[in-house]
Amino acid sequence: MKPLLELAGVSAAYLGAKILFDLDLSLADGEVVALVGRNGAGKSTLIKTVMGIQVRRSGSIRYDGQDIVRLPAHAIARLGVGYVPEERRVFGDLTILENLEVGRQPPRQGAPVWTTEALFEIFPNLEELRHRPAGQTSGGEQQMLAIARTLMGNPRLVLLDEPSEGLAPVIVEQMAAAVGKLKSQGLSVLLSEQNLRFAGVVADRAYVIESGHIRFSGSMQGLIENADVRRAHLSV
């Protein structure tokens, strides 16, 4: 089967500092793939590299058969790649509904179509807050909003950077359920995680990344069972 996203020999650098080295990665349609690694390993950088923001990148990044390495971020988003940043970056002054409006894009072939109502079903907390400025909501609510805002673009692939970071256990579970729902809708997800438990619940496959290199790739189950890799490249 042809992969939806395929990276080959990808390197990336911020102004002055090279962070990723010659990475290969692929993700099939409908798959949930986790990127795991310690702090500073390069997970977020890899996600930004796919999205084409902040980094200078080289190598080949193919999405749905098309090389996107020279495209600007907005064009990549227009192809159906959704990005949920680690820092969430909700628009603090805008209400929840307005935040969702910013993310809205026309329906796209081969991707589920989202409406605010459908999103409020997945994230019920947002519904009652819909007229509140996003800056005045909790961290968990902002995380939900960040995901919902991206879904408004009807993506086929969602890049989800550390969705569980800094959240209470209850919310983390809610997040896991939400990712499960996206998968059941046929969406593909590339998510970065430090929380192996979370990744274990939602992901099919995993890549372990350290110092900008891929150190392991295989099924999620395989990673959880491989104590050597976990000890060598992951914190716990």
Partner 1 sequence: MGPHSSPRHLDKTTLGFFLVQVLTGLSSAASLFLVAAGLSLIFGVTRVVNFAHGSFYMLGAYFGLTLVALFGDWFGRGHLSFWSAILCAALVVGAIGALVEMTILRRIYRSPELFQLVATFGVILVIQDLALWGWGPEDKLGPRAPDLRGAVFILGQPLPRYDLVLIAAGPVVLGLLWLLLNRTRFGILVRAATIDREMVGALGVNQAWLFTGVFFLGSFLAGLGGALQLPKGGADLLMDFTVLAGAFVVVVVGGMGSITGAFLAAVLIGQLQAWGVLLLPQSTLVMMFLVMAVVLVVRPFGLLGRPELVGHGRQMLDDPLRPTSWRFKGLVLLLVLGLAAAPLYLGTYGLVLLIDILILALFATALHAIIGPGGLVSFGHAAFFGGGAYAAALLVKYAGTPMALNLVLAPPAAALLAIVIGWFCVRLSGVYFAMLTLAFAQIVWSVVFQWGEVTGGDDGILGLWRAPWVRGRIAYYYLVLGCCVAGILALRHGLSSPFGYALRAGRDSPLRAEAIGIDVRRQQWAAFTLSGAFAGLAGGLYAYSKGSVFPNEMAIVRSFDGIIMVFFGGVQHLSGPLAGAAALTWLKDSLLRLEMWRLLLGLAVIAIVILFPQGIAGFLKQRFGRFVGIRSELSS
One of 32, 48, 61, 86 touching Mg ion (CB under 5 A): 86
The torsion angle over the Cα atoms of residues 17, 78, 103 and 167, rounded to 10 degrees, is -40
What CA–CA distance (Å, rounded) separates 31 from 8? 18
- Cα of 194 vs its chain's centroid, Å: 13
Q: How far is the CB of 69 from partner 1 (least distance, A)?
A: 12
- The minimum distance between CB 96 and partner 1, in angstroms, equals 12
233 DSSP 8-state letter: H
Report in angstroms how near the CB of residue 39 gets to Mg ion at its nearest: 8
Specify the stretch interacting with ligand ATP by CB under 6 A; choose among 12-20, 23-31, 101-109, 181-189: 12-20
E strand residue ranges, the chain: 5-14, 17-27, 32-36, 56-63, 66-67, 81-84, 157-161, 188-193, 205-210, 213-219
Q: Which is nearer to ligand ATP, 38 or 130 (CB)?
A: 38
Q: Find which of Mg ion, partner 1, ligand ATP, none residue 150 binds, CB within 5 to 8 Å per kind.
A: partner 1
For 13, the 3-state DSSP assignment is strand
Which of these segments, 32-40, 57-65, 71-79, 105-113, binds ligand ATP (CB under 6 A)? Answer: 32-40
Residue 1 binding partner per list partner 1, ligand ATP, Mg ion, none, with a CB distance cut-off of 5 to 8 Å that depends on partner kind:
none
Q: Which two tokens stand for residue 153?
A: 């673009």
Burial of 225 (0-12, 13-18, 19+ CB in 10 A): exposed
HSE (side-chain half, CA atoms, 13 Å) at 53:
15
- Does position 42 interact with ligand ATP (CB under 6 A)? The reply is yes
- Give least dist CB 225 to partner 1, A: 36
- Other beta carbons within 10 angstroms of residue 233's beta carbon come to 19
Q: Please work out the total of residues on this chain that contact partner 1, with binding judged by CB under 8 A.
A: 33
Kindly state whether residue 194 participates in binding ligand ATP, applying the rule CB under 6 A: yes
Contact 183, 202 (CB under 8 A): yes
* Minimum distance from residue 92 beta carbon to partner 1 (Å): 6
Using the rule CB under 6 A, is 14 a contact of ligand ATP?
yes
Q: Which of 23, 19, 35 is nearest to 198 (CA)?
A: 35
Binding site for ligand ATP (CB under 6 A): 14, 17, 19, 37, 39-45, 54, 86, 162, 194
Binding site for partner 1 (CB under 8 A): 11, 13, 16-18, 51, 53-54, 56, 58, 72-75, 77-78, 83, 85, 89, 91-94, 98-99, 101-105, 149-150, 153
